[in-house]
């Protein structure tokens, strides 16, 4: 058996790995490249393998950088099953449909431009029909329930603690003289989050394909992070402006809402008007509620059957565009949670445009900002940014709260790997250069293993 990395090799998006057992070909994740325009253009290139010759797909979790090219896979002839956790299926429905609508809008805009120039019309990367095809091909697989998905190929999902339904994939090739096991970490969550249990490492492996997003650093401790959020809230309130929180609609938004509910008193949240300004985050929050059984015991007992509006009475869910646009008139006292998480689209763009130039405004960044995104520019301290063609001065206060990441930090990654018996060979994916280098050094120091760092198209034996 071997595995070839066709994405997230030296970067954090476009996850896609092709496993070849000699008899079967299995794709692990098929995600979109995200970030700059150039990154996004890579999605339009033909897939580096023939989808008609793939026998099965296993999906670690719903995020688009892992799932967003599944519709492309089906459009180009894939007809087999897509195994993933049932919660992932629910999230895919929301995420992929939204992506198809955004794609349609983008292409429409692009085609108006092309028409004026007398150029040929572009075709969207995928459409709703392709998304529906993906959904029809999904097959639910719960955690820790090994299943022979193809003759001689057994797959089990382990809790990865990253977002609802997120899994590490344990793939066994049983056909040879001895069993060979590939473990793909998927995206690993940090320990001690407000909703999900900690990631559970697999027992053993012959090769570990491991994420390294934060391989070079640790997040701030939970206690410090909570204190930091409290300070940001106080500073923002004292300045009298709005507080903008760019947030991934799935995962970060729900973690944050849970924290706000738990700290409603100490953070004096009742004085704020809180807006969950993202139709996708609103839908995802409902899906999280449907799968409350996946939360850890602490979260379940805190919620105790209550709904969001009982936990946080002053949260307003603004699903309509008009409701959202009215938020532009609010000068202060609004805490607005909106997507996209990396400020490369979505409603947060409008809120940033209307608020960034005000020095009373505060922005709290709570997730990873990949290179090339507007979010990264804000984190890096740009004085001016461009939003929908306008140059905007950044007068707002930008806070980066690292401790709320959906990804494990270096210590947690090392612990996860260290719990796997026998110190198996490890290949680092899903990380930029410094994340991979940092984790490679750490694994060498702690366990004496030399981690490899595959490039796009590299094949590794299992
Ligand atoms: Zn993810």
The pLDDT tens digits along the chain (462 residues) read: 999 999 888 888 899 999 999 999 999 999 999 877 788 889 888 899 999 999 999 999 999 999 999 999 999 999 999 999 999 999 999 999 999 998 898 899 989 999 999 999 988 999 999 999 999 999 999 999 999 999 999 999 999 999 999 999 999 999 988 999 999 999 999 999 999 999 999 999 999 999 999 999 999 999 999 999 999 999 999 999 999 999 988 999 999 999 999 999 999 999 999 999 999 999 999 999 999 999 999 999 999 999 888 999 999 999 999 999 999 999 999 999 999 899 988 899 999 999 999 999 999 999 888 888 999 999 999 999 999 999 999 999 999 997 888 999 999 999 999 999 999 999 999 998 999 999 999 999 999 999 999 999 999 999
Task: Give pLDDT, residue 290.
Answer: 95
Residue 155 CA to ligand 1 center (angstroms) comes to 20
Q: CA-to-CA distance for 318 and 320, rounded, in angstroms?
A: 6
Q: How far is the CA of 15 from the centre of ligand 1 (A)?
A: 10
Measure 187 CA to ligand 1 centroid, in angstroms: 5
Bridge partners (DSSP) of residue 158 are 168
Residue 45 C-alpha to ligand 1 middle, in angstroms? 22
Distance 221 CA to ligand 1 centre (A): 21
pLDDT the model gives residue 143: 98
Look at residue 119 in the predicted model and tell me its pLDDT.
93
Residue 214 Cα to ligand 1 middle (Å): 13
The CA 433 to ligand 1 mean position distance, Å, reads: 18
Mind listing the pLDDT tens digit for each residue in 241-272?
A: 999 999 988 999 999 999 999 999 999 999 99
Length of the chain: 462
CA of 189 to the centre of ligand 1 (A): 9
Instruction: Please state the φ and ψ torsions of residue 272, each to the nearest 5 degrees.
Output: -90, 155
Predicted pLDDT at 37: 78
Q: How far apart are CA 361 and CA 354, in angstroms?
A: 10
Q: What is the pLDDT of residue 54?
A: 98
Give residue 406 CA to ligand 1 midpoint distance, Å.
8
Residue 374 near residue 410, CB atoms below 8 Å: no
pLDDT of residue 402: 79
How far, in Å, is the centroid of ligand 1 from the Cα of 116?
A: 39
Distance of CA 366 to the CA centre of its chain: 13
Q: How many Å lie between the centroid of ligand 1 and the Cα of residue 61?
A: 7
Question: Tell me, what's the pLDDT at 229?
Answer: 97
CA of 66 to the centre of ligand 1 (A): 7
182 Cα–ligand 1 center, Å:
20
Q: What is the pLDDT of residue 177?
A: 87
Q: Distance from the CA of 393 to the center of ligand 1, in angstroms?
A: 31
CA of 138 from ligand 1 middle (Å) equals: 18
**Token representation of residue 41:** 């253009």
How far is residue 241's CA from residue 238's CA, in Å, rounded to a whole number? 8
CB-CB contact of 73 with 80 (8 Å):
no
Cα 63 to ligand 1 centroid, rounded to whole Å: 5
Cα 150 to ligand 1 centre (Å):
26
Q: Separation of 136 CA from ligand 1 center, angstroms?
A: 22
| pLDDT attached to residue 35 | 76
CA of 260 to the centre of ligand 1 (A): 22
Q: For residue 370, how far is its CA from the centre of ligand 1 (angstroms)?
A: 13
> 443 C-alpha to center of ligand 1: Å?
22
| Ligand 1: centre distance to CA 134 (Å) | 19
Give 407 Cα–ligand 1 centroid separation in angstroms: 8
Q: Which two tokens stand for residue 12?
A: 């954090």
Q: How far is the CA of 310 from the centre of ligand 1 (A)?
A: 29
Query: Could you tell me the distance, in angstroms and rounded to a whole number, from the CA of residue 432 to the centre of ligand 1?
Result: 15
Q: What is the pTM of this model?
A: 0.91
Measure 344 CA to ligand 1 centroid, in angstroms: 16
User: How far is 76 from 53, CA to CA, in rounded Å?
Assistant: 11
Say what the pLDDT of residue 403 is: 85
Alpha carbon of 194 to ligand 1 centroid (Å) = 17
Q: Partners of 397 in the beta sheet?
A: 362
> Do residues 399 and 375 lie in contact, with contact meaning Cβ atoms separated by under 8 Å?
no
Question: What is the rounded CA–CA span in Å between residue 221 and residue 228?
Answer: 10
Q: What's the gap in Å between 153 CA and the centre of ligand 1?
A: 25
Please give the distance, rounded to the nearest whole angstrom, from the Cα atom of residue 152 to the centre of ligand 1.
Answer: 29
| Alpha carbon of 31 to ligand 1 centroid (Å) | 10
């Amino acid at each position: 058996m071997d595995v070839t990395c066709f994405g997230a090799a030296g970067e954090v998006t476009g996850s896609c790995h092709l496993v070849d057992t000699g008899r079967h070909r299995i794709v692990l994740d098929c995600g979109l490249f995200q970030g700059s325009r150039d990154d996004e253009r890579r999605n339009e290139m033909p897939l580096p393998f023939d989808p008609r010759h793939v026998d099965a797909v296993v999906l670690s979790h719903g995020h688009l950088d892992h799932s967003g090219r599944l519709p492309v896979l089906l459009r180009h002839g894939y007809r087999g099953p897509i195994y993933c956790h049932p919660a992932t299926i629910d999230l895919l429905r929301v995420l992929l449909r939204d992506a198809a609508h955004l794609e349609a809008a983008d292409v429409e805009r692009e085609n108006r431009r092309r028409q004026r120039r007398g150029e040929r019309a572009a075709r969207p990367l995928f459409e709703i029909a392709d998304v529906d095809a993906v959904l029809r091909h999904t097959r639910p697989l719960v955690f820790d329930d090994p299943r022979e998905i193809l003759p001689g190929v057994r797959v089990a999902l382990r809790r990865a603690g990253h977002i609802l339904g997120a899994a590490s994939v344990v793939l066994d090739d049983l056909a040879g003289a001895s069993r060979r096991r590939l473990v793909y970490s998927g995206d690993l969550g940090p320990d001690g989050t407000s909703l999900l249990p900690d990631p559970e490492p697999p027992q053993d492996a012959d090769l570990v394909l491991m994420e390294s997003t934060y391989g070079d650093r640790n997040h701030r401790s939970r206690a410090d992070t909570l204190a930091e959020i409290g300070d940001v809230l106080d500073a923002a309130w004292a300045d009298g402006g709005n507080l903008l929180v760019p947030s991934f609609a799935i995962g970060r938004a729900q973690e944050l809402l849970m924290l706000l509910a738990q700290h409603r008193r100490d953070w004096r949240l009742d004085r704020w008007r809180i807006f969950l300004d993202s139709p996708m985050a609103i839908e995802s929050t409902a899906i999280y509620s449907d799968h409350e059984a996946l939360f850890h015991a602490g979260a379940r007992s805190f919620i105790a059957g209550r709904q969001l509006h009982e936990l946080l009475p002053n949260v307003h869910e603004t699903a309509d565009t008009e409701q959202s646009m009215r938020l532009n008139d609010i000068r202060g006292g609004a805490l607005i949670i909106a997507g996209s998480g990396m400020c490369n689209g979505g409603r947060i763009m409008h809120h940033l445009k209307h608020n960034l130039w005000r020095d009373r405004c505060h922005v709290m960044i709570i997730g990873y900002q990949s290179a090339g995104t507007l979010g990264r520019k804000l984190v890096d301290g740009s004085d001016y940014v461009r939003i929908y063609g306008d140059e905007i001065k950044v007068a707002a206060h930008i806070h980066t709260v690292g401790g709320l990441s959906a990804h494990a930090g270096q210590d947690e990654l090392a612990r996860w790997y260290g719990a796997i018996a026998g110190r198996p060979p490890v290949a680092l994916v899903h990380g930029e250069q410094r994340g991979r280098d940092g984790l490679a050094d750490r694994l060498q120091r702690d366990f004496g293993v030399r981690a490899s760092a595959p490039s796009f198209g590299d094949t590794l034996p299992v």
